[in-house]
Chain A
Amino acid sequence: MSVSTGAGSCGTHSTLSQMDKLMARISATQRNLAIGVALTVALIAVGGLAAVFPSASNQGYMPEQPIPFSHKVHAGDNKIACLYCHSNAEKARHSGIPSMNVCMNCHTVVKADSPHIQLLQKMYKEGKAFEWVRIHELPDHAYFNHKRHLAKGLVCENCHGDVKSMDRVYQFSPLTMGWCMECHRGRTTPRQVMENIYPGEKNPQGHAAPTNCSTCHN
């Protein structure tokens, strides 16, 4: 006995018959010509796009920000810990951009003569915030979690590069899915993380993290 799994054909028959009618109206030559032209156009389009945009990645993206905030001065020269400003990274998915009052913890006194800092102070007083240009951006259907990655022993530099030396921050890593997967599969995983995952092993090898679709997407 058999029970068909689908509730029927979803009407494919009538779609086909429409196609048939359409096809019957035009000759075979016309049809072949049309298909040929369509294919050529498609090929040129795909080739052209591929030449102009080699990757979906935005690696290297370094936009100008509303004030020339320097990570080199803050994290490099003055050795402020990343998590002092991006404290949310330890607590949740997002690393977060520090709120204006965090800036003002120092800048009520530090470098108060700079016109940029004066702008900061003015905006803070008026209850306004800078509109920073977003650099690291994943698609909306990807759910990356900063907290989980830090908990496994990753450090900021692993993905964000040597921010301490960057005057203007740029996107260090490709942030493509392939790049994520290589690390999850244990191929490009930083050593300290592998040692956390495989404690006691001399040269830890293997998967570093789950690679289910549902690990990052929902």
Chain B
Amino acid sequence: MDMTTEKSKPSESTAAFVPPRHWIGPEELEPGYWADSQVREKRGQEFFEKPVEYLENLEKSGKAGIARRDFLTIMGASMAMASFACARRPVHKIIPYVVKPEEITLGVANWYASTCQSCACRCGILIKTREGRPIKLEGNPDHPVNRGALCVQGQASVLSLYDPDRLKAPVARTRATGARKEVTWAEIDAAVQERLKKAAKVRILSGHVQSDSTQRLIREFLSGQANGAHVQYELLSFEEISESQALSYGTALTPSYRFDEAELIVSLGADFLGSWLSPTEHAGLWAKARKLDSAHASKARMSKLVTFESTMTLTGANSDERHPVRPGDELRVALAIAHELIVTGKRSAFAGDASVAAALNGYTPEAVAAEIGLEGGAARIKELARNLWEKRAKSLIVAGGIHSKDRNALALQVAANLLNSALENEGVTIDGTANIGPARPKSSDLAKLIQEMNAGQVEVLIVHRANPAYTLPKAAGFEEALKKVPFVVVIGEQEDETALLADFALPDHHFLENWGDASPRKGLFSLQQPAIAPIHSSRAFEDSLLVWAKGTGKAAGLMGQAADWHAYLQANWKELQRQHKASVTFEQFWESALREGVFQTAGFGGRPSARSFRGAALSVLPKYAKNPNSGISLALYASNAIGDGKQANNAWLQELPDPISSVTWDNYLNIAPKLAKQLGLAENDVVEVQVDSASIELPVHVQPGMHPATVSAAIGYGRRAAGKVGTLTGVDVFPLVKFEGNGLSFSGQAVSLKKTGRIYKLATTQWHTATENRPVINDITLAEYRRNPATADHTDPHLRLDTVPTMWPEHEYKGHRWGMAIDLSACTGCSACMIGCQAENNIPVVGRDQVRVSRQMHWIRVDRYYSGSVDNPEVVFQPMLCQHCENAPCETVCPVLATVHDDEGLNVQVYNRCVGTRYCQNNCPYKVRRFNFFDHWKSYEGTMNLVWNPDVTVRTRGIMEKCTFCVQRIRDAKDKAKDQGLKVKDGQFKTACQQTCPTDAIVFGDVNDPNSRVSKLRADARAFRVLEVLNAKPMISYLSKVRNVEARANEGGAHAAPHHS
């Protein structure tokens, strides 16, 4: 099949492979860009401002910070102090335990299995604790959802545990004046119980409760209260999926998607690798169907991903074929495919069904392709329909998500269901029996609650882990309605926007301090246990309910028997044990669940069975109509780091560069290069974004791959009460969300843009550590790979290395020699490795201003490169970290031998030798060395200091640092092996980045062991080393990116601009 419509492909046998040209920003595509010496100078700088200039600028700008003169004074003073400090040895105290807990050995980590609650996925985690404090989270390899991987939000949640801005004690607030007062739990309990006794209507408003036990507790609590009801509201609820399942198949549930079984995946706005349902799980499954082994290259198979989306997401970036569309067009495309398949093609069980044909009336590929301006036209839709039919029962259609959630969100899901049923995927790649989680919240319930509140009927409102004062547009009227509720209690970790409007704000435990459970799949139970005693005087939400139920004499059901939440949880699990595992005692069952973190019933994980599609569901499909909005449409989306904004106060997540845009610390308006040009907008221009009467101001980011009539922005920013880090970081886009009837409509609104003339400099890392147009990636098509997998033939001739004599004697490695292999085809760019590394290696945050001048400290970064046209580029991600070069350029220039080789091949950085010349950094071709311009660790205040990993030195100002290949983990593995008189075995330990990677893209090990995984991967025909021509001999091999396309649009074209040398 020929995927391209233009540009004839050179005949296979004769044409030499021409590698695609990768670029970082659209400006590079202007002719002669790299020929300009000024450009080369500018882009070649690793640091944009010298420290003194930086301080002078601060002085000029009059901004808070240290002015230059003060800085010099402080420097002088601290030098003098430092000299005096040597005169007296600082006296340190050792305070032993009074009674040492039996399980603690000083200096040895304890691990506890638990369940992550950062988002709704409920992945299994292992909590690493040292001397009783959690310092790192890792995915639980035995958990069937995430299989050892963990996403950025999960990795970062250990920092949220120590967030100094957490609500520390119960707070009472006079709502009229806002006067705030700390109160005791006893006072709270008395006040709440008195209210509960009198109240005629009690409501609990919570986020999506994924725990069976908590659900039951809430039910039992409310059964004792007058007229009690539980309402759930979750911003990223995906309610339209379960609702459409009810319409299409009879039962409201969220199916499990088997991306590993699908050979052709079509995503209609579903960012399943970034923010849709269970991205960590999906990424693992998706990558499984794309693994390549060059020993069988000629028969290589990989699944193909085709995406239609309204903003550039991780899923789009990883697609083999991507089509930028406007929000709402996803539905038109879905129905056009269905029309072609069922009506025109007369295929599938629905062929000849008059009601289906009627529902699809008008959605012809020709009409839709013309309406949405699809690249490839109607032929592309027809071909896709044909390909899907060829791959029936082996394909998968996924749809929906925030950036496609317009008025027709439900119809889009029904269309996807119709397609999946027509293509016989139902029951094969879609598992309708493995219901994901308990019933999803419905925003219609919330709408009803707001009505009741407005009518003055609700007398007591208890809000738990929901923040409607922030996550709803003003038009929803929540705040006004709240004023009519006489008694409001908010229970949560933060004193958030909603808590500020309540009578009482009560601190809840962080999930690392609390008991709990979750059932992420039908038949799968995941246990959550505390790994640290509560840091503040918080109390579990569940315990509060228990106390109040007992205090009012209304402790129904299990509540009556349980002294506290832990006992309640056990009582509920006792029933589980009686039902599923009666062969063992409860103690055995409980211990085993605690140890494993998860319990699977016999019914879990079986083969799914097909359900039959109900034609009645088609009634929700809209009649074919053109997009009424001829102007620009808005798409809102959830970024993979900040998500719905719950963890907005987490500095690790704020400073994580967005994998697509490379911007940190802010949200922004994505605009297509074409539209930017048309409106006279450039990067960093502030524009007024108006939807109806609501308007906000956002800085512009020119994003290749955006649809020219669509702009997009991330939700979750601009929190008004998140804490020191998150408050007013970025812009709140909820004013642009529409609350229509029963639900929220995030995307598809007509939007008008107005240039304000102001500039806001986004802290982007896009041009930091740029390669100055030197090709660093091998990027080939599957067809080419099948024909000839050898990397050398695909490498840019400028980069090939012929054998050269070496000036240095070869190092000798008698024992281990550590190396790494990174599969660019598997890397989705999710950046979990970056946060995993940050937590493991005590990497500080530097703040927005320092990122602007290229001083972020990440040891591993994920470089994003584009290729092809600026309107719809292909994307490739490249994790870049210290390459531990054999002939390391950094080592030869260090005047004080602070960076040297060790006898296992590690390039080590010796902090106590380093004097901060930065020569090494200047000479590093990979730009992976990071310099401490300030004592960044000092930004960790109070409880945050508990998150440091005691096995890794916290670096001070003035020294260089970089990836160590997790030398502390190597040492720990050797220590354990030596205890048993053995050598370290392959796979016995993983580096932090490797451990958390959902797609197994990173493999680390001993290259001296010919049987190790890393040795085999380094010998794969796809393996190449970056900038090999320099003869630095890096110890990291990359495996070529392979795309499942027959030919590239630009292949053999005029893209091979000369690389400067």
A52 at the interface (CB under 8 A from B): yes
CB distance from B816 to the nearest CB of A (A): 12
Q: Chain A residues near B924 (CB, 8 Å)?
A: 5-6
B94 at the interface (CB under 8 A from A): yes
B925 at the interface (CB under 8 A from A): yes
Nearest-neighbor residue (CB-CB) of B770 within chain A:
A7
- For residues 87 through 107 of chain A, which have their beta carbon under 8 Å from a beta carbon of chain B? 88, 91-94, 96-102
B182 at the interface (CB under 8 A from A): no
In Å, the complex CA distance between A60 and B481 comes to 72
Q: Is the CB of B951 within 8 A of A143?
A: yes
A58 at the interface (CB under 8 A from B): yes
The verdict on A99 contacting B98 (CB below 8 Å), with A6-B925, A218-B953 known, is yes
CB distance from B957 to the nearest CB of A (A): 14
B28 at the interface (CB under 8 A from A): no
Q: Chain A residues near B904 (CB, 8 Å)?
A: 212, 214
In Å, the complex CA distance between A8 and B902 comes to 28
In Å, the complex CA distance between A137 and B86 comes to 15
Binds A, one of B41-49, B142-150, B201-209, B213-221: B41-49
In Å, the complex CA distance between A126 and B86 comes to 37
Q: Is the CB of B908 within 8 A of A212?
A: yes
Q: Is the CB of B45 within 8 A of A7?
A: yes
Interface string of B43-83 (1 = CB under 8 A from A): 11111001000000000000000000000000000000001
In Å, the complex CA distance between A94 and B94 comes to 12
Q: Is the CB of A141 within 8 A of B911?
A: yes
In Å, the complex CA distance between A7 and B769 comes to 8
A148 at the interface (CB under 8 A from B): yes
The verdict on A101 contacting B964 (CB below 8 Å), with A3-B1030, A134-B93, A134-B94 known, is no
A30 at the interface (CB under 8 A from B): no
The verdict on A129 contacting B922 (CB below 8 Å), with A8-B44, A213-B900 known, is no
A15 at the interface (CB under 8 A from B): yes
Q: Chain A residues near B971 (CB, 8 Å)?
A: 143, 214, 218
Q: Is the CB of A213 within 8 A of B91?
A: no
CB distance from A17 to the nearest CB of B (A): 12
In Å, the complex CA distance between A140 and B90 comes to 13
In Å, the complex CA distance between A53 and B87 comes to 8
The verdict on A3 contacting B798 (CB below 8 Å), with A140-B954, A214-B908, A218-B968 known, is yes
CB distance from B964 to the nearest CB of A (A): 6
Q: Chain A residues near B908 (CB, 8 Å)?
A: 212-214, 217-218
Q: Chain A residues near B968 (CB, 8 Å)?
A: 143, 218
CB distance from B166 to the nearest CB of A (A): 26
Nearest-neighbor residue (CB-CB) of B100 within chain A:
A99
Quick one: which of A10, A151, A210 contacts B46, CB cutoff 8 A? Answer: A10
In Å, the complex CA distance between A147 and B974 comes to 13
Q: Size of chain A's interface in residues, with CB distance under 8 A? A: 56
The verdict on A97 contacting B96 (CB below 8 Å), with A10-B45, A141-B953 known, is yes
CB distance from B54 to the nearest CB of A (A): 12
Interface of A is mostly: loop
Interface string of A121-150 (1 = CB under 8 A from B): 000100111111110010111010101100
Quick one: which of A99, A131, A212 contacts B902, CB cutoff 8 A? Answer: A212
Nearest-neighbor residue (CB-CB) of A125 within chain B:
B98
Q: Is the CB of A3 within 8 A of B1029?
A: yes
Quick one: which of A58, A101, A214 contacts B906, CB cutoff 8 A? Answer: A214
Q: Chain A residues near B954 (CB, 8 Å)?
A: 140
Interface string of A1-44 (1 = CB under 8 A from B): 11101111111001100000000000000000000000000000
In Å, the complex CA distance between A151 and B45 comes to 50
Q: Is the CB of A94 within 8 A of B107?
A: yes
Q: Is the CB of B1030 within 8 A of A5?
A: yes
Q: Is the CB of A10 within 8 A of B918?
A: yes
B1061 at the interface (CB under 8 A from A): yes
Interface string of A205-218 (1 = CB under 8 A from B): 00000101111011
Q: Is the CB of A88 within 8 A of B912?
A: no
CB distance from A171 to the nearest CB of B (A): 10
Q: Chain B residues near A128 (CB, 8 Å)?
A: 98
Interface string of B766-777 (1 = CB under 8 A from A): 000111101000
- For residues 456 through 510 of chain B, which have their beta carbon under 8 Å from a beta carbon of chain A? none
B89 at the interface (CB under 8 A from A): yes
CB distance from A133 to the nearest CB of B (A): 6
CB distance from A180 to the nearest CB of B (A): 13
Q: Chain B residues near A97 (CB, 8 Å)?
A: 94, 96
A172 at the interface (CB under 8 A from B): no
Nearest-neighbor residue (CB-CB) of B966 within chain A:
A218
B673 at the interface (CB under 8 A from A): no
B448 at the interface (CB under 8 A from A): no
A190 at the interface (CB under 8 A from B): no
B236 at the interface (CB under 8 A from A): no
Q: Chain A residues near B107 (CB, 8 Å)?
A: 88, 92-94
Interface string of B903-938 (1 = CB under 8 A from A): 110101011100000100111110100000000000
In Å, the complex CA distance between A100 and B94 comes to 12
Q: Is the CB of B975 within 8 A of A58?
A: no
Quick one: which of A52, A147, A212, A217 contacts B87, CB cutoff 8 A? Answer: A52
A61 at the interface (CB under 8 A from B): yes
A51 at the interface (CB under 8 A from B): no
Q: Is the CB of B106 within 8 A of A88?
A: yes
A63 at the interface (CB under 8 A from B): yes
Q: Is the CB of A49 within 8 A of B953?
A: no
Nearest-neighbor residue (CB-CB) of A66 within chain B:
B93
Q: Chain B residues near A132 (CB, 8 Å)?
A: 93-96
B807 at the interface (CB under 8 A from A): no
The verdict on A129 contacting B923 (CB below 8 Å), with A7-B44, A10-B47, A49-B86 known, is no
Q: Chain B residues near A7 (CB, 8 Å)?
A: 43-46, 769-772, 925, 927
Quick one: which of B921, B927, B964, B1061 contacts A3, CB cutoff 8 A? Answer: B1061
B1 at the interface (CB under 8 A from A): no
Q: Is the CB of B978 within 8 A of A124?
A: no
Quick one: which of A14, A137, A217 contacts B50, CB cutoff 8 A? Answer: A14
In Å, the complex CA distance between A193 and B1011 comes to 34
Nearest-neighbor residue (CB-CB) of A90 within chain B:
B105
In Å, the complex CA distance between A96 and B105 comes to 9
Q: Chain B residues near A5 (CB, 8 Å)?
A: 889, 923-925, 1030, 1032
Q: Is the CB of A3 within 8 A of B774?
A: yes
CB distance from B53 to the nearest CB of A (A): 9
B808 at the interface (CB under 8 A from A): no
The verdict on A100 contacting B953 (CB below 8 Å), with A9-B922, A139-B912 known, is no
Quick one: which of A63, A139, A151 contacts B91, CB cutoff 8 A? Answer: A63
Nearest-neighbor residue (CB-CB) of A56 within chain B:
B86
- For residues 66 through 88 of chain A, which have their beta carbon under 8 Å from a beta carbon of chain B? 88
CB distance from A140 to the nearest CB of B (A): 6
In Å, the complex CA distance between A133 and B908 comes to 34
Q: Is the CB of B91 within 8 A of A210?
A: no
Q: Is the CB of B89 within 8 A of A61?
A: yes
In Å, the complex CA distance between A218 and B349 comes to 64
In Å, the complex CA distance between A140 and B842 comes to 13
Quick one: which of A53, A99, A145 contacts B99, CB cutoff 8 A? Answer: A99
Interface centre among A2, A10, A215 (most CB of B within 10 A): A10
Can you list the 8 inter-chain pairs with the closest CB atoms, starting with the nearest? Answer: A8-B44, A92-B107, A212-B902, A99-B97, A99-B100, A93-B107, A134-B92, A141-B953
Instruction: List 27 contacting pairs A-B, 8 Å CB cutoff, sorted by A.
Output: A5-B889, A5-B1032, A7-B44, A7-B45, A7-B771, A8-B40, A8-B44, A8-B45, A10-B922, A15-B50, A52-B87, A61-B89, A63-B91, A88-B105, A91-B105, A92-B106, A134-B91, A134-B92, A134-B94, A140-B953, A141-B912, A147-B975, A210-B903, A212-B902, A212-B908, A218-B967, A218-B971
Give 9 new A-B contacts, CB below 8 A, not counting A92-B106, A128-B98: A3-B1027, A99-B99, A133-B92, A134-B91, A134-B93, A141-B911, A141-B953, A151-B979, A217-B912
Chain B residues at the A interface, C-beta cutoff of 8 Å? 40-41, 43-47, 50, 83, 86-87, 89, 91-100, 105-108, 769-772, 774, 798, 889, 900, 902-904, 906, 908, 910-912, 918, 921-925, 927, 951-954, 964, 967-968, 971, 975, 978-979, 1027, 1029-1030, 1032, 1061
